[in-house]
Structure 1
Amino acid sequence: MIQDPHHGRDHRPRRLVAAAPVLPILPILPVLIVSALVLAALLGEPGMTWVPLLATGPALAATTNGPRGVLCVGLLASALRGRRERVLAAVRSVAEAAQHALLQPVPATVGPFQVAVRYSAAAAEARIGGDLYALVSTPHGVRLIVGDVRGKGLPAVGTAALVLGVFREAAYDEPDLLAVVARIERSLARNLGSDDFVTAVVAGYPREGQLEVVNCGHAPPLLVRDNDVVAVEPDRPAPPLGLRTLAGETPALQVLPFADGDQLLLYTDGVTEARNHDREFYPLADGLARHTSDEPVRTVTALHDELLTHVGGRLHDDAALLLLRIPAAADTAVTRPASDAERIGS
């Protein structure tokens, strides 16, 4: 028996399978993404930057919505970007006010010194960090401090404010520079934790031609004399401020001759520990030898620019530079205009 080749087959009409419908959520997905970024920006950490991700909203809207949808999502993203820029501007304004209160501007001339300062916070938006400096003219001569607080963030800023406040008071009150350092040490011992400390160099110019230096675990200042750069290593190493009770050692007063034309550069480890792409430290002493001039502002600016070039444009730690210079006699000499008789006689 010959079987029908079509026997057993289903002869019912087949239905055409329609393409899967577009999910209803796709058109509003860009809005959800931008809204999620808004929420993340409001609830996230202050340092987190969400603005670059806003471009995903309009890009996705271009594939799931018409021109009107793209326009709406773009306007929403622009509104959020504008808000973030306004908030950032307000934060920078507050940070600048805090910086001026904490790190008061140093004039170009203090007592007998020409002075230049350059400070850069690792977090550009913050403008301030754990590095500190101050230079004041007191009844006991010009006194200054450059230091570095262990740690980062607001706790470091608070400690820097404490150190600077005590220093400015003690610098006026105490005739002995070691007593100034002792005042700072006692204050930190009362207010810091057991693991917190501050490295610092405190210096004073009590009389002409003499510079006093107290180094508390900080990088040695660099002395420039007759075009030579020499590190001022402490005669007796001392622990950082805040650790004296643990170490049982007291700092020593180091007296240096400081004559006309001499310069002293104080700095923080954010300068000397800055690395390039090959992990090489910035050679500060070599840079100072290259850029030393009779104008501290020009010298410090050249050092700072070279430092940024060395690290590729952005520092990863706070960095401070403070340069003092005693003007040479040739700098202060004023050329007297020739009189009419002298000009005729010549």
Structure 2
Amino acid sequence: MTDRKPSSNWTVLSWMPTVVMAVVAGVDVVAGPGVGLLPLVSLGPAFSGLIGGWRRTAGTGVAALLLCVGLGFYNGQFDESRGFAALGSVAGVTGVGIAAAVMRSRREAELASVRSIAEVAQRVLLRPVPLTAGPLQAAVSYTSAVAEARIGGDLYEVVASPHGIRVIVGDVQGKGLAAVETAAVVLGAFREAAHDEPDLVGLGERLERSVARELEGEKFVTAILAEIGARHEVVFLNYGHPAPMVVRRDGAVDFPQPPAHALPLGLGAHGGEDPKSYRVDFAPGEQLLLYTDGVTEARNEDGHFYPVGERAHLLKDPDAHRALETLRADLAQHAGGPPHDDAAMLLLRYHGHEEGKSAPIT
């Protein structure tokens, strides 16, 4: 996480108390005592209480009181009650500003503490995928639809199991904390079952039981499971999820469809066809992109969906992470604004056990 430099807007706000008091003082000197601008000096500590700490607010209040005293004597306003009323106004606003600054500082400290705890929880839930797993190189991109959030309702995981490299990418119904809770249930079940279940269909059935047991009502999770073993192929199991994208060595793009369109995880009790695994050729030098519908359903200003298949050429960079970042940046440019849905992408490159160097990506 990198430190953020103060924005130009914040710099302007930080100077606002001083500017306001200087303007009031200048106008008061020019206009004379008849205008009655002296109480407006209290705007300085008022602004300072909104944007600064209590020490800065107190310092601004002391400066405002001194300025008020100087202008009061200059205008001869201490011969009447107006001068003392202005002093009282400045002192009162300064006190309120200090109290507001203290309360805001406490809330910011509590928010920072909660945010740090949330970041740890997020790292536990969506752990970084391994850079390499067997013959594969992996890279992941996640964009949450919730401002300031690192995770949401999309999920992914890569597990090197005794039965091969097993992968899940899923999309939880809904958003916010409820979706994060559901994602935690799915990922926990997958991480355990990926090591225990020898068959991908058995792994999917175990996930279905776990999700159906934990979720309430009509909640569901679309997901795609993948398994890459010793053979040059990948086995898929699709639970109502967008089809994966396979980029061949010659740049051709495939979207392999499942033989049966199963219901999402959590809806198995409603009937429908059971998911059937299907195999797709996946050889060294080829790429596999798994993603959620936040990618394919991102619209531009003309209402057109993001054409992920037409953007496969953006994945040519020899470094998988840079290639996926290029694709993510193109997706953001297509959407032209904040995402309306979580968008996760997991890129897998097959380099082969026997190859010392990466196979060329065309």
Instruction: Give the 5 Å matches for 1:177-256.
Output: 177-225=200-248, 226-256=250-280
Q: Alignment partner of 2:299: what SS? A: coil
Partner of 1:262: 286
Q: Give 5+ residue unaligned stretches, structure 1.
A: 1-50, 335-346
2:258 aligned with 1:285 = no
Name which of structure 1's ranges 88-97 and 292-301 shifts more when overlaid on structure 2: 88-97
Which residue of 87, 96, 119 corresponds with 2:119? 96
Q: Is the 8 A contact 1:261 1:327 kept in 2?
A: yes
Deviations 1:308-331 (A, max 9, x none): 111224212111000001126996
Give, as a single letter, the amino acid of the residue that structure 2 aligns with 1:126: A
Which residue of 295, 302, 313 corresponds with 1:271? 295
Partner of 2:129: 106
Q: Is the 8 A contact 2:260 2:273 kept in 1?
A: no
Instruction: Give the 5 Å matches for 1:106-145.
Output: 106-145=129-168
Aligned residue pairs total 281
1: CA distance, partners of 2:171 / 2:149: 17
Give, as a single letter, the amino acid of the residue that structure 2 aligns with 1:96: E
Partner of 2:44: 71
Offset, 1:67? 4.7
Offset, 1:207? 2.1
1: CA distance, partners of 2:235 / 2:186: 19
1: CA distance, partners of 2:354 / 2:253: 21
Deviations 1:176-197 (A, max 9, x none): 0111110110111112223111
Which residue of 350, 356, 359 corresponds with 1:326? 350
2:327 aligned with 1:303 = yes
RMSD: 2.8
Give the percent of matched residue pairs that are identical in Structure 1 and Structure 2: 48
Partner of 1:30: none
Q: Which has the higher helix share?
A: 2
2: CA distance, partners of 1:126 / 1:290: 27
Instruction: Give the 5 Å matches for 1:145-160.
Output: 145-160=168-183
Deviations 1:91-118 (A, max 9, x none): 4322321111100111211111010001
Q: Alignment partner of 2:159: what SS? A: strand
1: CA distance, partners of 2:197 / 2:147: 36
Offset, 1:206? 2.6
TM-score normalised by L of structure 1: 0.74
2: CA distance, partners of 1:312 / 1:260: 35
Deviations 1:236-292 (A, max 9, x none): 211111111203321001111211111100000111111122222111111123433
Q: Alignment partner of 1:219: what SS? A: coil
2:195 aligned with 1:172 = yes
Give, as a single letter, the amino acid of the residue that structure 1 aligns with 2:336: G
Offset, 1:65? 7.0
2: CA distance, partners of 1:94 / 1:88: 10
Alpha carbons of structure 1 residues 67 and 112: separation in structure 2 relative to 1, 3 Å: same
Q: Is the 8 A contact 2:295 2:344 kept in 1?
A: yes
Give, as a single letter, the amino acid of the residue that structure 1 aligns with 2:279: V
Name which of structure 1's ranges 84-93 and 272-281 shifts more when overlaid on structure 2: 84-93
